[in-house]
Amino acid sequence: MRLYSCIRVLLLGAGLLLANAATAGGYVLDIGGKQTELDLDQDTQITLDDGRQVKVRLARKAEQTFRDRGMAFDHPAAVQPTASDVDKRVRQIMMVSANGNGVLVQRYEGVDPTALVDLMVSEMTDEEVAAGYQRKISAASRTLADGSELKGKLARTESAGESWDRYVLATGSSKGGYLVISMMEDDREPADVAMLQKFWKSLKLELPK
């Protein structure tokens, strides 16, 4: 997945504000209009206006926090969430590993997403059922880091070759809310398990007012 980053770093010792923009070669450090190209985890010497030379290194935190329009959650730097507007009322965030495990969060304005749980379960699993998978649906809920609760369904689909657990949970009112979906295959990587655990442990949602 291609990484597009915007990082602003404060160098306390030199009192410099650094602003970077993604480029083909990595990153650009802009100090008073003078630009220097940087790559992650590589030292670069720069000369300040007073003639002093300082060593700069750009590093990515192993754990990052994603924030977008009332929602926030932690995630590993190796898997970057993407955001898009489905339409004027729906904002969608996706975070999926190379193995297909991950989460999808939709923020609704003026629509209660709790009424969409069953529809989303069908959309995600009907095709598998038609292909011969066995499906089991049960009630499910999650209590978030801020104490709020998401309620919905756990849909488990099984075949001879693979099995999936998909949580489809929601919270909201007529003013809006959130639909949160997690997807995990039984044949999972430990990194994917840790990613989902981190997401659920840190997820915070601010309901539309």
DSSP 24: T
| pTM higher than the cut 0.85 | no
Contacts 24+ apart (CB under 8 A), 32-40: none
> What is the arithmetic mean of pLDDT over 30-42?
82
User: What is the identity of the amino acid at 13?
Assistant: G
Q: Which domains does the chain have, with CATH numbers?
A: 8-57 (no CATH), 63-205 (3.40.1000.10)
User: What is the identity of the amino acid at 208?
Assistant: P
**β-sheet bridge partners, residue 141:** 151
For the stretch 138-190, pLDDT in tens is 999 999 988 889 999 999 999 998 999 999 999 999 999 999 999 999 988 89
Distance CA 94, CA 208 (A): 20
Distance CA 58, CA 185 (A): 35
C-beta separation of 184 from 164 below 8 A? yes
For the stretch 76-105, pLDDT in tens is 988 999 999 999 999 999 999 999 999 999
DSSP per residue, 102-153: EEEEEEEESS-GGGGHHHHHHHHHHHHHHTT-EEEEEEEEEE-TTS-EEEEE
For residue 91, what is the enclosing H or E element? strand 90-96
Residue-level pLDDT at 46: 83
**pLDDT reading at 60 higher than 50:** yes
